[in-house]
Structure formats: C-alpha cells, structure tokens
Structure 1
Amino acid sequence: MEFNLSESEQALYQETLAEFKERQIRLTDTRKAIIAYMIESHDHPSAEMIYQDLLPAYPSMSLATVYNNLKVLVDEGFVSELKLPQDSTSYYDFLGHQHPHVICQVCGKIVDVMVAASLPDLKTAIETETGFHVTKTQTMIYGICPDCQEKKD
C-alpha cells in the first residue's frame, strides 16, 4: 500500500520508528503500515476500518493483528483510543499532541479541535484537587455537525 505522507508526516513516521527501535519494540511490516496509516489518517478510524483498508496490501494480516498493534501503539503512548458512550467501537487517533475532540451526536463523526484560545490548566487543577498525577487527558465535546444540522432543516 502506498502512503502519501507529507514531509512533516514522513518526519513523524521516522521519529516514531526510531522511538520503537530505541525502546526495542519489534517493527514488523504490518506494524510499520499501521503506524503510517495512523499518521496519514485525518479521520479517527476503527480497527476494522484499518484492517479493511490495509488488507489488499497485507492479505495475510488478521484483524487480531491490527488490534494487537493498536494496543501496543496505545500502551506506548503513540495513539489514543476514543471510546464513545453510545458505541461499542473504539476509534483511534495518532498523538502528535493532545487535543479535544468534538463528536456529532447524530452521525458519530469525530473532529479534532485545535483551540488557539488559552484553556484553563485543567491538568494542574485536577492534580492539586485530587492528588492524582495526570498522565493523559481526553476531552470529548458533543454536538451536532453542520451536515446533520443541514439535514434537520
């Protein structure tokens, strides 16, 4: 499968592979393909979507292989797993940085939000109030996307 990674995506891909090597984590062809797929994807694919898209180029790959690789990517901090309350499917997002997600309550579309405005430091407030050491945050905001709003009219 051909990946059309931009220059910055290609750099991120190479950095990710180097980090895997440094951590002495095996880099199989399918793992490399899943990493490239996740970096290139601007959607939030499910394991099933990744499997279907990569299967033509990797016919011996199983859905279990995709799930196992996604687990490694999540455990190692490269990918976040998004679980929506109304859906048993998990969706995945490559972490170039932590950011909020807005989710359409009608169609389930997930969009990254790149907020330029300064948000309160929720991590620090939570750590101060609870004593927890926050290692990861995941913000999901719900609404109705423009397409679904248009369909309602």
Structure 2
Amino acid sequence: MLIIENIEKHLRDHGISPSYQRKRIFEYLYENQNHPNVNQIYEELVKEIPTLSKTTVYNTLNLFVEKKLAEVITIEGTEIRYDLYNPHTHGHFKCENCKKVYDIDIDAEKLHLKDLEGFQIKEQYFHFKGLCRECSNKTV
C-alpha cells in the first residue's frame, strides 16, 4: 500500500504545483481508494470547494495520469475511473450489482502466456466483472 506523509511534497516531487484543489483531489484518491469517476470526485469535493468545476477535476486527473501519480481504469468501454498509480501488478473487479471496484492482487510471476513469448509488453490490464462476495451472499 502506498504511504504518503506529505501530499504537497509528493506532488512537487512529481513536477506538479500543489494548488488547494489539486491537493484535495489527490487526497480524495489517496484516502478513499474507491476507483472514482470524475463525477464522484466532483460531487464529493464541491461541497467544500464551491468554485470547483468538473473541468478542473478532469484536467487535474489527466495531469496526475501524465505524471504517473494515477492511472485510468476502463473496465467497461464507456466508464472511466481513476486509481492511484500502483507499480505492482494488480487487476480490478467490478461488481455488476453494487458497482464497486476492487483491487485484485495478481502474481505476475505465475502468469505464463505462451502466445506472448517474444513480445515486449509495456502495459497490462486485468479486469473482471461479476458479483462481489457481499452481493453474492445477498442472492443466496
């Protein structure tokens, strides 16, 4: 798990000027880790920052992605969510019922994909959909 003691310094270390809005957007990602979309972040933060716009949230998230502080998650073609950048191989599971997205640890050492031998892999994504444990237990 990523531990950051000083968000302002962390942003500066990645070449980002730490405005109040940028710090709060990063704090939201860091504290919640709920794989939010732009609307979710906006709806939560506009309560405390009335001047915040969706455009600012979108542009800030794109800056975080560009600077490798966050990554885009697209489990379904039209839904874009964001996650703090994690260099360790992991995937995501989206519950079709409650719509929550979970991090899933993946042991890349155990993956052996013969069809990719000789290829240079620069990015990899693992996405799963179904029912989470909680929703599965409700249907039983």
TM > 0.5 fold call:
yes
| 1:108-123 equivalences in 2 (<5 Å) | 108-115=99-106, 118-120=109-111
The counterpart of 1:129, out of the listed 118, 122, 129, is 118
TM-score, normalising length from structure 2? 0.79
| 1:1-153 equivalences in 2 (<5 Å) | 8-11=3-6, 13-14=7-8, 16-20=10-14, 23=15, 25-85=16-76, 88-98=78-88, 99-115=90-106, 118-120=109-111, 126=116, 128-130=117-119, 132=120, 134=122, 136-153=123-140
SS at match of 2:42: helix
User: Could you tell me how far apart the structure 2 residues matched to 1:82 and 1:8 are?
Assistant: 21
Q: Which runs of 5+ in 1 are unaligned?
A: 1-6
| Segments ≥4 residues shifted beyond 6 Å | none
> Deviation string for 1:12-49 (max 9, x for gaps)?
x35522323xx3x3332111111111111221111111
Q: Which runs of 5+ in 2 are unaligned?
A: none
For the 8 Å contact 2:12–2:18, the answer to whether it is kept is no
For the 8 Å contact 2:8–2:23, the answer to whether it is kept is no
% same residue: 25
Flag the 1:58–1:121 CA change in 2: closer, same or farther, 3 A.
Answer: farther
Shift of 1:66: 0.3
For the 8 Å contact 2:93–2:128, the answer to whether it is kept is yes
